């Protein structure tokens, strides 16, 4: 039952945080304690907990939690980013109204995401996936302005539509299941039962990929991301990009690799169309980010592009492609989480939201901007950062995948995207550190003084930079433990 405790504890604590009035200082101590206890419980559950069945719905459908190596990897990413964001939010939420409500849904959503990682079969994962959606919507709605309500509803509508599409795939996968419907690498679909119905099954699975891909921002179901991210508080944006969107990635891996079986899709039109959509999303997201001037919206478009790197690796339907995708899960969560937190610092300390307002900021906040630069190197794909390793593995997997023209096109798209990523991230850092003589001689330039934010904000940035570097140094070994 340790897995159940790891899920219910943060949910219960979140409800308490929302209902019980606390002074700001006491709330911070309470939330810090809850976060650390949740970390311990989740790590113990991942390391020692066995499979546990909570409910038998009949017909072989069980609500079941069973940690495996894939779930452990995603759980580690969840705990690292949620912990970093928790301490960061203690300072950031001083500028926001209703911090108690934010932390309430913060912890409730944490419990929901942990349940997605620990789910032992497709039905359990789907129910937890839905819960993660519903509990993260209030993070977007937090400010309750007209724009926030519109963004929250758009996120909710997209997510519900995508989930219903995914549910269709869950139905058909269970219908053609063999004796057991537990997650197993290679899938549990009975090939004999499927014989003669492959055409319909492929259509359904493709619809499910699009559905779960909605959470991951894959075209054409990507529209919620650039709307929700700029409106949500910066800590929520970091979670939406670094963690919540990855729930869609995990759902696709569970469906294709641990339920259906990649060999059923290999060489079919589903694989071809899936690869094309991923490459289109990578290019489109990078181009839109390059043109965008609002920092958080630029990072939202970047998320659309970067998560499709992961999906491209998965669409190759090879173990090497999956490894590359898993490395990018780690790298992107740390890098993009850090960038959104940096964007939050610009808003919190300076009230600046546009990239053209950040000239000279590196003189005021050198540590903050160095963290921005380091994780930008990872997103662009500069060694030895995690982003380089993941893109290298995905590109080589594509070239060796034997997909004809697409095997050549995939590395080209990755290279173009890397150049565009450099084009929308590096100039921000250059202008921040080297604003030019005209700016230095201006009144604004002369008035600048060093003014780093609180360690509650800067230490999480440093931690995430270290994680992005570790993904590059040890990513292959870590991903190798999964497959």
CA angle 244, 414, 399 (to 5 degrees): 110
- pLDDT per position as a tens digit, 459-469: 999 999 999 99
d(CA 163, CA 131): 11
Length of the chain as a residue count: 483
HSE-CB of 250 using CA atoms within 13 angstroms: 35
pTM over 0.85: yes
Runs of H (alpha helix) within 232-318 = 234-239, 245-255, 262-265, 269-291, 295-315
Q: Is the pLDDT of residue 446 over 70?
A: no
**Average pLDDT value for residue range 133-150:** 89
d(CA 480, CA 69): 10
**Average pLDDT value for residue range 336-351:** 93
d(CA 232, CA 119): 28
Q: Is the pLDDT of residue 224 over 90?
A: no
Report the pLDDT value the prediction gives residue 79, as an integer from 0 to 100: 96
Q: Is the pLDDT of residue 226 over 60?
A: yes
Q: Is the pLDDT of residue 438 over 80?
A: no
Q: Is the pLDDT of residue 109 over 80?
A: yes
**Average pLDDT value for residue range 121-130:** 93
d(CA 152, CA 142): 9
**Average pLDDT value for residue range 326-349:** 95
Q: Is the pLDDT of residue 180 over 90?
A: no
Q: Annotate 355-393 with b (16+ C-beta within 10 A) or e (fewer).
A: beebbbbbbbbebbbbbbbbbbbbbbbeeebbbbbbbbb
Q: What is the DSSP string of 187-209?
A: --B-HHHHTT-HHHHHHHHHHHH
Q: Is the pLDDT of residue 350 over 80?
A: yes
Report the pLDDT value the prediction gives residue 443, as an integer from 0 to 100: 60
Q: Which residue matches tokens 């060093």?
A: 450
Tokens found for residue 417: 């995207």
Domain assignments of the chain as residue spans, ordered by start: 266-483
Find which of 100-109, 183-192, 353-362 is predicted with most confidence, using mean pLDDT. 100-109
Contact assessment for residue 390 and residue 327, using Cβ atoms and an 8 Å cutoff:
yes
d(CA 119, CA 114): 9
* Banded pLDDT at 21 (limits 50, 70, 90): confident
Among 16-25, 65-74, 287-296, 330-339, the minimum mean pLDDT is found in: 16-25
Q: Which residue matches tokens 């079969």?
A: 121
- List of residues 6+ apart from 453 with CB closer than 8 A: 91, 345, 348, 349, 365, 368
* Banded pLDDT at 441 (limits 50, 70, 90): low
- The better pLDDT of the pair 54, 366 is held by 366
- 3-state secondary structure at position 348: helix
Q: Is the pLDDT of residue 161 over 90?
A: yes
Report the pLDDT value the prediction gives residue 328, as an integer from 0 to 100: 96
- pLDDT per position as a tens digit, 26-74: 999 999 999 999 999 999 999 887 888 888 877 777 888 999 999 999 9
Find which of 59-68, 414-423, 440-449 is predicted with most confidence, using mean pLDDT. 414-423
- Other Cβ atoms less than 10 A from the Cβ of 176: the count is 18
Average pLDDT, the chain: 91
**Average pLDDT value for residue range 207-221:** 91
Report the pLDDT value the prediction gives residue 53, as an integer from 0 to 100: 84
């Amino acid at each position: 039952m340790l897995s159940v405790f790891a899920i219910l504890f943060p949910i219960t604590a979140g409800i308490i945080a929302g209902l019980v009035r606390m002074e700001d200082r006491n709330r911070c101590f309470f939330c810090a304690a809850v976060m650390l206890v949740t970390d311990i419980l989740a790590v113990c559950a991942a390391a020692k907990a066995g499979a546990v069945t909570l409910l038998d719905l009949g017909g072989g459908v069980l609500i079941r939690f069973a940690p495996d190596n894939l779930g452990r990897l995603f759980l580690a990413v969840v705990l690292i980013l949620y912990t970093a964001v928790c301490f960061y939010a203690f300072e950031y939420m001083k500028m926001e109204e209703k911090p108690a409500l934010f932390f309430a849904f913060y912890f409730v959503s944490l419990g929901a995401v942990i349940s997605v990682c620990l789910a032992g079969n497709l039905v359990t994962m789907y129910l937890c996936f839905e819960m993660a959606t519903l509990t993260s919507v209030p993070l977007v709605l937090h400010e309750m302005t007209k724009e926030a309500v519109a963004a929250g509803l758009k996120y909710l509508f997209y997510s519900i539509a995508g989930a219903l599409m995914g549910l269709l795939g869950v139905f058909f996968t269970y219908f053609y299941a063999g004796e057991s419907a537990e997650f197993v690498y290679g899938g549990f679909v009975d090939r004999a039962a499927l014989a003669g119905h492959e055409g319909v099954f492929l259509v359904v699975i493709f619809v499910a990929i699009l559905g779960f891909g909605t959470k991951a921002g894959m075209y054409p179901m990507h529209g919620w991301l650039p709307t929700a991210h700029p409106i949500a508080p910066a800590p929520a944006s970091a979670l939406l990009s670094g963690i919540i969107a990855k729930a869609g990635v995990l759902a696709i891996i569970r469906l294709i690799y641990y339920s259906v079986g990649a060999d059923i899709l290999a060489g079919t039109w589903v694989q071809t169309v899936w690869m094309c959509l991923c490459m289109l999303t990578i290019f489109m997201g990078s181009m839109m980010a390059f043109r965008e001037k609002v920092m958080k919206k630029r990072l939202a478009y970047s998320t659309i592009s970067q998560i499709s790197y992961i999906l491209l690796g998965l669409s190759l339907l090879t173990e090497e492609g999956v490894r590359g995708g898993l490395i990018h899960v780690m790298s992107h969560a740390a890098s993009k989480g850090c960038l959104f937190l940096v964007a939050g610092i610009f808003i919190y300390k300076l009230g600046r939201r546009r990239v053209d307002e950040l000239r000279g900021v590196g003189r005021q906040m050198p540590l903050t901007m160095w963290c921005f630069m380091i994780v930008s190197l990872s997103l662009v794909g500069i060694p030895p950062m995690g982003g380089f390793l993941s893109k290298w593995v995905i590109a080589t997997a594509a070239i060796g995948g034997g997909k004809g023209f697409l095997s050549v096109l995939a590395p080209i798209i990755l290279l173009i995207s890397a150049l565009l990523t450099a084009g929308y991230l590096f100039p921000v850092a250059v202008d921040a550190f080297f604003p030019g003589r005209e700016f230095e001689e201006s009144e604004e330039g002369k008035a600048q003084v060093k003014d780093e934010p609180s360690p509650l904000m800067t230490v999480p940035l440093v931690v995430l930079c270290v994680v992005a570097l570790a993904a590059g140094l040890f990513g292959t070994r870590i991903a190798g433990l999964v497959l």
